Structure 1
């Protein structure tokens, strides 16, 4: 490669999500120059790898996408227009839960079922119904998408095995680990995107029937796993696309329950895709939706068995905009819930945090919110906090572009002007304690909602505590 290669850190996906080793791994597979690959999208790189495969096969590459959607009856269109299978989570607190995941489900469906744009609904096997529920045929000739993805799947499996071996050493080589993890991360993004890209109208090699077929196989596989696990004495408490959470069926004696490892091996052999034991939890809590009793699909938290860590998904501690103070309080609440199983202990933690807020002892830097700007200032129609922050930035000749982050502290949320916030770098001693109290209550609601507590009950309990404390203080003053 002649000359220099420049990676713009403010405009790169792969370098930001992985590292230089991950970028160079994809350069070798896609043949794209390093600085082009650094700013390219996942689909762009996937297309480049497909073009390399087409070149090796001696196949002409279309200038634009040209594969029209095949005719299908309305009934088939209705059946095909569905996503992956989802079992609504059982809201609440569940003990002794195991999480099982299918390894790279969608890429492995493509490779094991030969789902590829050039072989789906082929004319030579039009009498066959290879795709469950849709009746699409799949040619016996191996598709080009399989030849593209199988080497990536195999390479990532080898890299993950190398990572495990390195970590098991007495003195792991940190540089080697960083290299392997960067390469694994880069390949993961290609595998994550390969399914969705089949339904993208501008994909050179895409075809909507591939997208539909992959979903159909995924639904069948998850249902197969559910039925076998339940027959083996395990109760499914949640399932989404490629993951399933199970707990021992309380109505069945342990002696009649089949070993989970044996079941996962049997399911793996049946569906030809590895079902892995992802984690064992002492307990898992599934959070309801904000305005409904139904379970939120991607909001849960749990204590990993044998470890001091929690696995957290969807709640405030995982959201990039959450101030560090609120994140710390929510994590403290999880610790107390784990130790006591008592909502009262969690509410004591909340009350202490609120008292510190109103006393003004919380450092302002711990209340900084970070939000991503989605459009130019002129594009906003509502006076949001982001707008107030962008106005302050403009006044200070600071250019904040769409896609970049802006950081600020809420000073007075009642205002709609730029005085509503202060930018993170500005010197300010004040903050809107009432606003941050509301955010705290919201964060604690996420912790207590699986136990049946909502925001109204939490606020009522806080109000009663305040009245009790005030009455006690008044009595002391009288004495």
Structure 2
């Protein structure tokens, strides 16, 4: 895209930078999250923050003012100066090439988003999905400009570009955090372009949605207060060059203290469980673990921490006693390979050490059993001895062969479940070892 525009604008194309990656620039701002549960936070998000900064601040290698520039090459005023001191020409002097490109892409994305809404209104599912995929593709393309600006090998960049973008982004988000903090609002969490702010709602409002009665009335009122609060904040902090959106309203939010890992009960604009960074989204997890984690999160967000810990302890005992379905312990992963002319599959062409790759060993067991294998397909397996290196596994073939499979390493699965869920229950005083033992010395809520 840039090269085409360069040619059209008759701008010389610089040679690729082969000097290596060099040092890393300072990235986005991520605020530490307090361990535990937080009530009724509003989630606000800067719309296309990095592209918006590039457009509004005219950030481009064609507009950067060199620190060694002659005085007559630097405007007396109106230039854009980043928090780090880098300077960029004002739009009236020279409109940057990349900002113009991004404006076109923003317009294209808006077109697809509008078309998506229209298709949804008339019930055209095919058109809705098409325009949704298109607007998402344009979004990814827009955000990729920051990635190349922050690189050391891209020919159309300079270290001032990427570092200035993140510096302005950090300044924007910290300004909001500091102002709201001064006004007495609690900032629950902040990550890159999002900020989570506790709304001041009625204190007797339950976080779990009640069916009826006074609790229901209190919950409805708190939800209305949260929505109003979120919209007011978005309108208040939106600027010409930075649009802040009220993205999500939560009745409760939980984190065990790790950045980029949290869950929340969404009450606006729809009701759903929001999970970020935990194993329910990992491809190498298994059904029993993901289901247990999801159920535990729901309990925690509803204020039922003691029940959540009890559920995990009981689950571990069931696994240890083999009182569960082996199919719920199956781990699946896609496996690549190259089909040769003789019909055999060559895994060495894809993997440096295929004999140690679990998915390759599972795929080979499928092939040895006379079952179909297509490169790229998902293969499943049970861990039968996790103490070995590499661990011993058995391909999951029961659904295709009809032969019952029940052999698995109970200790390995117990450790995997306890370690995964223990990181979360540790917020309530229960470590992974406590979960495996089934008891602990201190009181459940001694924290």
- The two structures have a TM-score, normalised by structure 1, of 0.71
Q: Does 1:330 align with 2:293?
A: yes
The Cα offsets for residues 93-125 of structure 1, whole Å up to 9 and x where unpaired, read as: 101111111011101110111001111124322
How far 1:300 moved relative to its partner?
A: 0.2
Select which of 139, 156, 163 maps to 2:116: 163
Distance 2:362 2:249 in 1: 48
What secondary structure sits across from 1:298 in the alignment? coil
Q: Could you say which residue in structure 2 is the equivalent of 1:57? A: 9
Distance 1:231 1:249 in 2: 15
How far 1:278 moved relative to its partner?
A: 1.0
Give the aligned CA root-mean-square deviation in angstroms: 3.6
Q: Which stretch of structure 1 is more off in the superposition, 225-234 or 87-96?
A: 225-234
Q: Could you say which residue in structure 2 is the equivalent of 1:14? A: none
Q: Could you say which residue in structure 1 is the equivalent of 2:89? A: 139
Distance 1:230 1:162 in 2: 40
Q: Could you say which residue in structure 2 is the equivalent of 1:7? A: none
How far 1:68 moved relative to its partner?
A: 8.7
The Cα offsets for residues 413-433 of structure 1, whole Å up to 9 and x where unpaired, read as: 123356x11123476331112
Q: Could you say which residue in structure 1 is the equivalent of 2:48? A: 104
How far 1:316 moved relative to its partner?
A: 1.3
Q: Could you say which residue in structure 2 is the equivalent of 1:278? A: 247
How far 1:343 moved relative to its partner?
A: 2.6
Distance 1:372 1:207 in 2: 39
Q: Does 1:206 align with 2:157?
A: yes
Q: Could you say which residue in structure 2 is the equivalent of 1:422? A: 394
How far 1:408 moved relative to its partner?
A: 2.4
Distance 2:61 2:245 in 1: 29
Q: Does 1:184 align with 2:110?
A: no
Q: Could you say which residue in structure 1 is the equivalent of 2:436? A: 459
Distance 2:194 2:168 in 1: 15
What secondary structure sits across from 2:247 in the alignment? strand
How far 1:202 moved relative to its partner?
A: 3.0
Change (3 A) 1:127 1:391: farther
How far 1:440 moved relative to its partner?
A: 1.9
Distance 1:286 1:233 in 2: 22
How far 1:321 moved relative to its partner?
A: 1.3
Higher percent of residues as helix: 1
Q: Could you say which residue in structure 1 is the equivalent of 2:198? A: 247
Change (3 A) 1:98 1:449: farther
Distance 2:428 2:119 in 1: 41
Distance 2:131 2:63 in 1: 34
Q: Could you say which residue in structure 1 is the equivalent of 2:145? A: 194
Confirm or deny: 8 A CA contact 2:330 2:382 kept in the other structure: yes
Q: What does residue range 437-448 of structure 1 map to in structure 2 within 5 Å?
A: 437-448=414-425
Distance 1:351 1:105 in 2: 44
Q: Does 1:125 align with 2:74?
A: yes
Q: Could you say which residue in structure 2 is the equivalent of 1:477? A: none
How far 1:404 moved relative to its partner?
A: 8.3
Q: Could you say which residue in structure 2 is the equivalent of 1:471? A: none
Confirm or deny: 8 A CA contact 1:393 1:400 kept in the other structure: no
The count of corresponding residues between Structure 1 and Structure 2 is: 387
Distance 1:231 1:463 in 2: 41
Confirm or deny: 8 A CA contact 1:53 1:147 kept in the other structure: no
Select which of 365, 385, 397 maps to 2:327: 365
How far 1:392 moved relative to its partner?
A: 5.5
Confirm or deny: 8 A CA contact 2:6 2:12 kept in the other structure: yes
**Runs of 5+ consecutive residues of structure 1 not aligned to the other structure:** 1-48, 70-76, 289-295, 465-479
Q: Could you say which residue in structure 1 is the equivalent of 2:357? A: 387
Select which of 380, 385, 391 maps to 1:412: 385
Distance 1:118 1:274 in 2: 26
How far 1:275 moved relative to its partner?
A: 0.5
How far 1:355 moved relative to its partner?
A: 4.1
- The two structures have a TM-score, normalised by structure 2, of 0.75
Q: Does 1:299 align with 2:261?
A: yes
What secondary structure sits across from 2:394 in the alignment? strand
What secondary structure sits across from 2:40 in the alignment? strand
How far 1:144 moved relative to its partner?
A: 0.5
Change (3 A) 1:359 1:459: closer
The Cα offsets for residues 209-258 of structure 1, whole Å up to 9 and x where unpaired, read as: 211111111111112221332344422121111111111469x9x99xx9
Change (3 A) 1:450 1:358: closer
Distance 1:353 1:85 in 2: 38
Confirm or deny: 8 A CA contact 2:80 2:89 kept in the other structure: no
Q: What does residue range 146-157 of structure 1 map to in structure 2 within 5 Å?
A: 146-157=99-110
The Cα offsets for residues 120-161 of structure 1, whole Å up to 9 and x where unpaired, read as: 124322877733332111112111101111111222233334
Change (3 A) 1:206 1:392: same
